[in-house]
Amino acid sequence: MLNPIYTPKNTRAVHLLHYDWTGWLKDQAPFPSTLSDAIKNCRTLWSSDGMKLEKWESRLDQLQLMFCVIPQLSPSLFAQRVKGRLAYALRKAGTPVQFRVKKGFRSLGKNTREIVQAYIAKQSRKSDYVDPRFRKRLEQFHVDNRAVALKEASATGHGRYWYNLHLVLVVQDRRFPMERNDTFLKARNTILAIAKKKGYAIAELFIMPDHIHVALRGNIEHSPQDIALAFLNNLSYAFGYNRVWNEEYYVGTFGEYRVNQI
The 10s digit of each residue's pLDDT in 151-203 is 999 999 999 999 999 999 999 876 555 667 888 899 999 999 999 999 999 99
User: What does pTM read for this prediction?
Assistant: 0.94
Whether 237 has a pLDDT exceeding 80, the answer reads yes
pLDDT reported for residue 175: 58
In this structure, which topology does domain 110-261 adopt according to CATH? Alpha-Beta Plaits (3.30.70)
Environment class of 110 (CB within 10 Å of its CB; exposed 0-12, middle 13-18, buried 19+): middle
pLDDT reported for residue 218: 98
Average pLDDT in the chain: 93
Query: Is-same-fold flag (16-107; 110-261)?
Result: yes
> What three-state secondary structure class fits 7?
coil
DSSP letters of 147-181? TS-TTSPEEETTEEEE-EEEEEEEBGGG-S-TTSH
Q: What is the pLDDT of residues 45-65, one digit of tens each?
A: 999 999 999 999 999 999 999
Report the candidate in 239, 235, 248 with the shortest Cα–Cα distance to residue 194.
235
User: Measured between alpha carbons, how far is 86 from 82 in angstroms, rounded to an integer?
Assistant: 6
Domain chopping of the chain, boundaries? 16-107, 110-261
Taking only Cα atoms into account, the Rg of the chain, rounded to an integer number of angstroms, comes to: 21
Q: What is the pLDDT of residues 7-51, one digit of tens each?
A: 999 999 999 999 999 999 998 889 999 999 999 999 999 999 999
User: Measured between alpha carbons, how far is 189 from 65 in angstroms, rounded to an integer?
Assistant: 38
pLDDT reported for residue 77: 98
User: Measured between alpha carbons, how far is 93 from 110 in angstroms, rounded to an integer?
Assistant: 36
pLDDT reported for residue 135: 81
Report the candidate in 109, 231, 85, 209 with the shortest Cα–Cα distance to residue 165.
109
pLDDT reported for residue 138: 84
pLDDT reported for residue 134: 79
pLDDT reported for residue 131: 74
Whether 129 has a pLDDT exceeding 70, the answer reads no
149, β-bridge pairs: none
Orientation angle between helical segments 75-92 and 35-48, nearest 10 degrees: 140
CATH numeric code, 16-107: 3.30.70.1290
Average pLDDT of the segment spanning 83-102? 96
Report the candidate in 14, 16, 89, 15 with the shortest Cα–Cα distance to residue 46.
89
